[in-house]
Amino acid sequence: MELRTVEWKDDSVVMIDQTKLPNELVFVRYTDYNDVANAIRTLVVRGAPAIGVSGAFGMALAALHSSSKTKEDLLSDLENAKKILFETRPTAVNLSWALEQIMQIARKSETVSEIRDDVIIKAKQMAEEDININKKMGKNGAELFQENDTIMTHCNAGALATVAYGTALGVIRATNESGKNVRVIATETRPIQQGSRLTAFELKHDGIDVILIPDTAVGYTMANDLVNGVIVGADRVLQTGHVFNKIGTYQVATMAKQHNIPFYVAAPLSTFDLQSKPNDVIIEQRKASEVTGIGDKKTAPDDIDVINPAFDMTPPELISGIITENGVVKPPFKESIKQLFPAN
């Protein structure tokens, strides 16, 4: 069975509850956009493209259930829903991109019923496009890997971080589908363990060879020639090629540079932010309890001070290439990224 992280079904949003994985595969159904916002906030759904599409479906619920009788009132309800959905998580740019795409469609539509229909159609299209884009990215990225390569990945940039197929794991899937046998080393990805809970679950579910390591074994596995390449996803890519992704990505990239191992990022064009500078990007800071315990077990002294950023920034000089649906861009990124967006 192909994993569908989030979808529109019978006028509601259905998603896998990722907080329950890998122990239970449970689906939740929402009919109120406030519940979708809460699901994004509490990591029921996570991963940049998945939260983008979930945001779009949240807007579709807001349009569907608004009691507004005029276009102006409905647009105002949608602006309100957009604000609530936007405030859930600050780092992945796909969320604001998706919300704005929906608002543009709503503003163009003429009547209340047209807005409702057009917003729902657009959100459903965005979900389908996400899968097509991931498959294109997969094909483009598959060229970069060889038969029998072992590829390291960090966090989860798979089917569970998108609607289906995945970005970084999509490239691994496509490499396998092209007939090259590759295997994966997944980092555990403390503190929320997207690597062990989600990447290891998803790859095993799909029959792809995967080995789990603690985050602290990244250097060991690279120094012992166990890794041929690294591929990760991204929450935001700047015009300069700075990549924001799960905390720890910067360490993995630095270690890859030290061992001359190519480090790739797979990101759709909707993850690019051509306006922001590195210091403009808000890094989500999460609660201390994620670090001071594992599950219900306390693993640190009471009242210890904690720094718990959810993301970090990898500078362009550590990145060998960025795989997109429109091709693979290589350094110098300032020039190559510009060519991805000819209209800007």
Site string for ligand MRU, 90-129 (x = CB under 6 A): --x-------------------------------------
Residue 130 as a binder of ligand MRU (CB under 6 A): the answer is no
Q: Measured from the CB atom, is 47 or 138 closer to ligand MRU?
A: 47
Q: Measured from the CB atom, is 19 or 336 closer to ligand MRU?
A: 19
DSSP 8-state code for residue 147: T
Helix %, strand %, coil % for the chain, to 5?
Answer: 45, 15, 35
Work out how close the CB of 71 gets to ligand MRU at its nearest, in angstroms, rounded to a whole number: 34
Work out how close the CB of 123 gets to ligand MRU at its nearest, in angstroms, rounded to a whole number: 19
The interface with ligand MRU within residues 316-335 (CB under 6 A) comprises: none
Residue with tokens 């362009």: 316
Nearest to 138 by CA among 94, 173, 184, 180: 173
Round the CA-based radius of gyration of the chain to a whole number and report it.
20
Count Cα neighbours of 83 within 13 Å in the Cβ-side half-sphere.
Answer: 6
Work out how close the CB of 73 gets to ligand MRU at its nearest, in angstroms, rounded to a whole number: 34
260 Rama class: left (phi>0) / alpha (psi -120 to 50) / beta: left
Residues facing 12 on adjacent strands = 9
Cis upstream peptide for 49 (omega within 30°): no
> How far is residue 63 CA from its own chain's centroid?
25
Among 46, 135, 136, 197, binds ligand MRU (CB under 6 A): 46
Active site residue 235: yes
Give the three-state DSSP class for 264.
Answer: strand
**CB nearest ligand MRU: which residue?**
233
Q: Measured from the CB atom, is 202 or 235 closer to ligand MRU?
A: 235
Region of 55-63, 96-104, 233-241, 299-307 interacting with ligand MRU (CB under 6 A): 233-241
Q: Please state the φ and ψ torsions of residue 91, each to the nearest 5 degrees.
A: -90, -45
User: d(Cα 246, Cα 154) in Å, to the nearest integer?
Assistant: 8
What kind and span of H or E run contains 107?
helix 93-108
User: How many C-beta atoms surround the C-beta of residue 340 within 10 A?
Assistant: 19
Work out how close the CB of 244 gets to ligand MRU at its nearest, in angstroms, rounded to a whole number: 8
Work out how close the CB of 131 gets to ligand MRU at its nearest, in angstroms, rounded to a whole number: 13
User: d(Cα 94, Cα 53) in Å, to the nearest integer?
Assistant: 8
Residue 307, exposed/middle/buried by CB under 10 A (0-12, 13-18, 19+)?
A: exposed
Which two three-digit tokens encode residue 306? 């904690």
Residue 155 as a binder of ligand MRU (CB under 6 A): the answer is yes
List 77, 118, 235, 273, catalytic entry: 235
Residue 246 as a binder of ligand MRU (CB under 6 A): the answer is yes
Residue 233 as a binder of ligand MRU (CB under 6 A): the answer is yes
Region of 42-50, 95-103, 111-119, 289-297 interacting with ligand MRU (CB under 6 A): 42-50
Among 6, 7, 49, 248, binds ligand MRU (CB under 6 A): 49
Work out how close the CB of 310 gets to ligand MRU at its nearest, in angstroms, rounded to a whole number: 5
Q: Please state the φ and ψ torsions of residue 183, each to the nearest 5 degrees.
A: -125, 165
Give the chain's length.
Answer: 344
Residue 310 as a binder of ligand MRU (CB under 6 A): the answer is yes
The interface with ligand MRU within residues 247-266 (CB under 6 A) comprises: none
Q: Measured from the CB atom, is 63 or 126 closer to ligand MRU?
A: 126
- Listed in sequence order, the residues at least 6 apart from 335 whose beta carbon sits closer than 8 Å to its beta carbon are none
Q: Measured from the CB atom, is 162 or 320 closer to ligand MRU?
A: 162
Which two three-digit tokens encode residue 126? 């965005």
Work out how close the CB of 234 gets to ligand MRU at its nearest, in angstroms, rounded to a whole number: 6
Residue 157 as a binder of ligand MRU (CB under 6 A): the answer is yes
Give the residue numbers marked as catalytic: 235
Q: Where on the chain is the footprint of ligand MRU (CB under 6 A)? A: 46-49, 92, 155, 157, 161-162, 167, 194, 232-235, 245-246, 310
